[in-house]
Chain A
């Protein structure tokens, strides 16, 4: 009997009635992961501890809907006594001594951590191919990428190994892999979720968010992980709300904007056609849809390159071979320790970004690039604010193409940024954004749509997403074997 492809309410009832025990679900999750081993979704499994925890839960009351359910955590979120590598050689054997705030919150609900998922090294990349541990494969076609940087989390959800995963999104790293693998992924408003214990990449952009197979389960997981945290002073003091409360509510009279940039010739025809079908559906359901021009939105990648690489160079300065992680053998002096440790410990993509970032922040370059980018970023955010004075939502495709081949060239350092051209503006403005699957291309690869709303309007995003999910009623479970010979 398979349980982990069921919906959460069914599972909760089974657990509550003691028809199944948490250990059944934990065993099944590990079986699924073993059967899907070739997908390479995980870096570390938490088998012993998960089994132990599941057994302990047998004597506890099933007191919340997430009780006893397995969850996967992206490997840049620290977990006490469980290896956290950031998919990097430099942290290959790093065992954290504390839990990230989101992990504490998950444990408080008695969810069970199954393992740490594969990703781009330090979340830098768009295909998870910069992982020191090799790339995850897309469950829809094993020759294709799962996207990135949260590629492992997307893979394990799409493959139906388990119901819940956490990802992180600095420039699209939840939404883009969610789109490539046909799942639901939410990047919450900047400040919604504490970043304490998330290994920092670009601090003004990073945000942790839920990745699930459907909208309702996504909202349930967000309910658990958000809230103010004294350990992260950028986390919001906004009251924690029930993000499921608008699910299923009709969208009649809702005003939706589609930036012309999102349907320009940078996007594949098939994807635009699918989006247009979805727009027709939305109109039929009583929403109005307008195409609008937005200033600065097409500059987002440039801003991102400057801000993300700059902040990364500063954040990754802490990997010095002294305090934790990998350290080079027998350095002759402290300088050699720094230089060699970082040379041997970091992969190509990370080194490139640190170098460019260091340059952009050095001397007067800081004024010419970084501060200029922050100025334009402010205007871009205002541009979004203006749109939301007249509209409830902004929508568009999540990606310009569907998932491409794992063997496609990686030698152009610009490629990984361009994959995220449609998702980066949301991080720049700190807004919430979600990927919802809207169909398939002719190769049967998933196509995703992005729903963006104003700050702290995640519940409203789930409302629109849930309506589309119901109306489209897509079969989003990849068939084993098909396309995968």
Chain B
């Protein structure tokens, strides 16, 4: 088995992660990501465990909050934290294609 990912595999993984990568980075990631994936493959060597899963170490103390009014953050400050904002709105680039636009 080739000890690196294919270019296509790297591009697929980068797309899942929503990270843009350059042509020269692809080569590096082919090796590095494969090294990490080989590591996690070791999980298949573990034997003897049962099907019970543990999602968080302590689930027995999880309770629901009471359904009551609480403090909230100042919406103005929340909006101001956005890199681009206008009035009460967060600005984003065009989301739908021009042909689909109004």
One of A236, A355, A374 near B16 (C-beta < 8 A): A355
One of B13, B33, B61, B64 near A191 (C-beta < 8 A): B61
Q: Does A371 contact B (CB under 8 A)?
A: yes
Minimum CB–CB distance from B1 to chain A (whole Å) comes to 17
Interface residues on B, range: 35 or more
Chain A 207-244 per-residue mask, 1 if CB under 8 angstroms from chain B, else 0: 00000000000000000000000100111111000000
Q: Known: A233-B62, A334-B92, A375-B51. Contact between A339 and B19, CB under 8 A? A: yes
One of B20, B61, B65, B94 near A230 (C-beta < 8 A): B65
Cα–Cα, bound, A70→B78 (Å): 30
Minimum CB–CB distance from B16 to chain A (whole Å) comes to 4
Cα–Cα, bound, A237→B61 (Å): 7
Minimum CB–CB distance from A157 to chain B (whole Å) comes to 27
Cα–Cα, bound, A204→B64 (Å): 18
Contact B57 A305 (CB under 8 A): no
Cα–Cα, bound, A331→B95 (Å): 11
- Measured between beta carbons, the chain B residues less than 8 angstroms from A373 are 43
Cα–Cα, bound, A354→B57 (Å): 23
Q: Does A129 contact B (CB under 8 A)?
A: no
- Measured between beta carbons, the chain A residues less than 8 angstroms from B33 are 352, 355-356, 359
Q: Does A274 contact B (CB under 8 A)?
A: no
Q: Known: A342-B20, A355-B33. Contact between A190 and B81, CB under 8 A? A: no
- Measured between beta carbons, the chain B residues less than 8 angstroms from A340 are 20
Cα–Cα, bound, A203→B55 (Å): 10
- Complex A-B: 27 CB contacts under 8 Å: A204-B56, A233-B63, A236-B61, A295-B48, A302-B40, A305-B36, A309-B36, A321-B83, A323-B82, A333-B93, A337-B93, A339-B19, A342-B18, A343-B19, A352-B32, A352-B36, A356-B13, A357-B17, A358-B17, A362-B16, A372-B43, A375-B54, A377-B53, A378-B49, A378-B53, A381-B54, A413-B32
Which positions in A face B, CB cutoff 8 Å? 94-95, 97-98, 189-191, 203-204, 230, 233-238, 295-296, 299, 301-303, 305-306, 309, 313, 317, 320-327, 331-334, 336-340, 342-343, 346, 351-352, 354-360, 362, 369, 371-379, 381, 412-414, 417, 429-431, 455
